[in-house]
Amino acid sequence: MHWILSAVVGAALTGTALSQTSPPFPTTCAGVAAAKYPYTVDSAWQITKIASGLRQPRSILFDPLGNMLVLQASSGVSVHTFGADGCINSTKTIIQNSGLNHGLGLTPDGKTLYVSSVTQVWSWAYDAAARTATGQKTVITGMSQGGHSTRTIAVSPKNPNIILVSTGSNSNWDYASGSPATGRACVKAFDVSKAPASGYTYNTQGTMLAYGVRNEVALAFDPNGHAWGAENSGDDFRRTVNGQATDIHIDNPAEELNYFGDPESPRTPNWYGYPTCFTVWEPSLFKDTTALKTGSQFVVSPNATFNDASCTGVSNPPRLSFPAHTAPIGSVFDKSATNLYITFHGSWDRQPAAGYFVAEVPFTKTADGLYDPVSPADSKTGYKTILSATTPGSCNSPSLTQSTCWRLAGVSWDNAGERLFVSSDNQADGEIFVLKKK
């Protein structure tokens, strides 16, 4: 996502001194409240809470000097510096705007900051040394309201004039979004250097990188500058065959890891299935067929005109799948792209609940120079949980930012690629944690 810039985009900085030295890993930070909710961390990692009392910290990234920028939803953007002990030693609000809710991006030279609301994307001139954002400009307007409200921003490390902006569907079943002209359930690319004075109009301008992606919140670039997205799929699914409906929703459809490729050369086709073709997580819940497996695409009501097999060759299937309703929100590659890290916000539409964890997805570089997950597309074990709510099955989340557990959201590596920062945007306490491998 936008917060991948500290690791992937930051490595491509030119003409700017990039801080590559991490402060010591703190074991505790004075004045920071204890973790609000219990958690479990993998034995190979250590973790410390470094910030509390933030307002729904949704996104994180690092500027060239190693300062941490945080988008606090319905509040603004803050910048945080670190002391010699590895703890935060100063905080400054650089943008105040109650309409901001998710998107945050920074160009590789650290000089242009992008932020989004539900309907617009703006840019500011950013000064890392002074920790200021000035000269607000409108970059994109006219994004649809209603339904999924987050607008992810990701800046290309290959061509920093290119930014990606995602929009979700306007409902669980947004049938109109099957047409790319609606400008919903899609990811578009925009060349900021060619933006009109009043900004692009989202629905009618820009390049369609991918459509048919229900809510692609977690965007990340690999070292080749190719885009990946983790998708929040649908809710309350029933499979209807010959008039007989079967509830499959507890473990279907799967959340998805999608490969979008080079934003300057979109894939063909660039449709990823929604609102027609979805992905199987648990095939045993499909009582009418044994042909499906994890990672297969299916339709909810197969018929003589369009059935599961009809998706093949028409819709791009995911490269990897995750359990239903876990809600991927943020993603970031490590410096060598040997792993992709994804935060899962957690479910509301499943009992017992699921999600509330950080996944480590192993990647490899193929013979043709592309990056690809190690596991096959039909795997249920293509990731490892490195951090989780202690008892995720008992979490109760009545709204987007209310829960009896943390709601993991932002994720970013520091410039040195040594410390992984993760936020929880639960409104009871906006928290940031730092992790490091032992």
Contact 410, 57 (CB under 8 A): yes
Q: The whole model's pTM is what?
A: 0.95
DSSP 43-56: TTEEEEEEEEEES-
Residue 287 CA to chain centroid, in angstroms?
Answer: 33
Nearest alpha-carbon partner for 337 in 376, 370, 380, 288:
370
Long-range pairs for 88-92 at CB < 8 Å and ≥24 separation?
88/29, 88/50, 88/51, 92/131
Cross-strand pairs, 138: 122
- Angstrom CA distances, 334 to 5, 142, 169, 250, 364, stand at 11, 34, 30, 32, 12
DSSP state for residue 240 in the 8-state scheme:
E
**What six digits make up the tokens of 407?**
């709601």
Q: What is the pLDDT along the chain (438 residues), one digit of tens a residue?
A: 333 333 333 333 334 556 677 889 999 999 999 999 999 999 999 999 999 999 999 999 999 999 999 999 999 999 999 999 999 999 999 999 999 999 999 999 999 999 999 999 999 999 999 999 999 999 999 998 888 999 999 999 999 999 999 999 999 999 999 999 999 999 999 999 999 999 999 999 999 999 999 999 999 999 999 999 999 999 999 999 999 999 999 999 999 999 999 999 999 999 999 999 999 999 999 999 999 999 999 999 999 999 999 999 999 999 999 999 999 999 999 999 999 999 999 999 899 999 999 999 999 999 999 999 999 999 999 999 999 999 999 999 998 889 999 999 999 999 999 999 999 999 999 999 999 999
- What's the half-sphere exposure (Cβ side, CA atoms, 13 Å) at 417? 14
Nearest alpha-carbon partner for 387 in 367, 353, 416, 360:
360
Say how far apart CA 28 and CA 85 lie, in whole Å.
9
DSSP 107-142: -TTS-EEEEE-SS-EEEEEEETTTTEEEEEEEEEE-
Say how far apart CA 113 and CA 308 lie, in whole Å.
43
How many residues does this entry show for the chain?
Answer: 438
Say how far apart CA 120 and CA 57 lie, in whole Å.
19
Say how far apart CA 335 and CA 395 lie, in whole Å.
33
Contact 436, 45 (CB under 8 A): yes
- The amino acid occupying position 121 is V
